[in-house]
């Protein structure tokens, strides 16, 4: 079982709504990620937080706003989304080691924008 | 740009029919090559990490190998429950992961 927990599992929102996706991990990992995955496509990196600081932003539109309140939590705030933003949003975490780091994914949050 | 290419895109096997999936990569400064399994509507499940050419790892019916430019996921005597999409990913020196498009495996009883 994955130790990265995402809520909600499903979310339907209108284009004028404000909502948030939440992610929690209890593995003591210090890097956390948001990925977006469309049907039949690989995951695409959106954001990386390292030691609670945003380290990578893959030119994601400002209608997506990440937040890392502490080392165990990661949020993705959503505002004024477009129907094409409908996708599976995956949270992941990893711990740096001498050889590299393996990322572990949550089950994802299915987002539908209507 | 760094790139990960997986082949074939889809693979249909009979139960017990062994085969291999391929992942070729072009990243400079490879820090790791990763294999994941993804079931429909779920997040990718970690399988293996390989760090250096010649390394091999096994788990049940799966065996992953790594050369300087590609990795193979060998599936021995697959069962229907092995049906899934298998993703490989590479990690570069800047902590970024690049995923391939995946191989969708269908094992028929």
Q: pLDDT tens across B4-33, in order? A: 999 999 999 999 999 999 999 886 667 789
pLDDT in tens, B45-88: 999 999 889 999 999 999 999 998 899 999 999 999 999 999 99
- Interface residue A88 vs chain B (CB under 8 A): yes
Instruction: Determine the distance from the C-alpha atom of residue A49 to the mean position of all C-alpha atoms in its chain, rounded to a whole number.
Output: 10
Strand-pair category, A109-113 with A10-13: parallel
DSSP for residue A16 = T
Query: How close A6 gets to chain B, by Cα (Å)?
Result: 10
Give B30's strand partners. Answer: none
* Token reading at A65: 């706003």
Query: How close A72 gets to chain B, by Cα (Å)?
Result: 19
Residue of B nearest to A37 (CA): B43
pLDDT in tens, A5-35: 999 999 999 999 999 999 999 999 999 999 9
Residues 6 or more apart in contact with residue B61 via CB below 8 angstroms = B75, B76, B77, B78, B79, B82
Look at B91 and A101 and tell me if their CB atoms are within 8 Å.
Answer: yes
Give B81's strand partners. Answer: none
Residue A5 burial (C-beta neighbours within 10 Å; 0-12, 13-18, 19+)? middle
- List Cα–Cα distances, A27 to A35, A52, A78, B2, in angstroms: 19, 15, 26, 30
Q: Cβ(B34)–Cβ(B49) under 8 Å?
A: yes
Which residue out of B42, B95, B101, B102 would a mutagenesis test of the A interface target, given it has the greatest number of A Cβ atoms within 10 Å?
A: B95
Rounded Cα distance between A74 and A66, Å, is 7
Look at A45 and B97 and tell me if their CB atoms are within 8 Å.
Answer: yes
Q: In the prediction, which pLDDT does B2 show?
A: 58
């Amino acid at each position: 079982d994955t130790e990265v927990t995402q809520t909600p599992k499903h979310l339907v929102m209108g284009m004028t709504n404000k909502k948030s996706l939440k992610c929690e991990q209890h593995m003591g990992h210090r890097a956390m990620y948001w990925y977006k995955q469309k049907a039949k496509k690989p995951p695409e990196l959106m954001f990386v937080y390292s030691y609670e600081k945003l380290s990578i932003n893959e030119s994601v539109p400002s209608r997506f706003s990440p937040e890392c309140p502490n080392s165990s939590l990661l949020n993705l705030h959503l505002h004024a989304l477009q129907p094409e933003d409908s996708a599976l949003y995956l949270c992941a975490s990893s711990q740096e080691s001498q050889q590299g780091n393996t990322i572990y994914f949550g089950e994802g949050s299915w987002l539908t924008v209507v | 740009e760094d790139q990960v290419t997986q082949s074939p895109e889809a693979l249909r096997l009979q139960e017990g029919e062994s085969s291999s999936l391929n992942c070729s990569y072009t990243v400079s400064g490879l820090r790791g090559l990763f294999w994941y399994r993804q079931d429909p509507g779920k997040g990718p499940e970690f399988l293996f990490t390989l760090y250096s050419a010649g390394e091999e790892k096994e788990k049940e019916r799966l065996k992953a190998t790594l050369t300087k430019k590609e990795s193979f996921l060998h599936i021995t005597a697959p069962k229907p429950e092995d049906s899934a999409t298998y993703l490989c990913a590479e990690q570069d020196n800047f902590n970024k992961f690049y995923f391939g498009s995946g191989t969708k495996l269908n094992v028929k009883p």
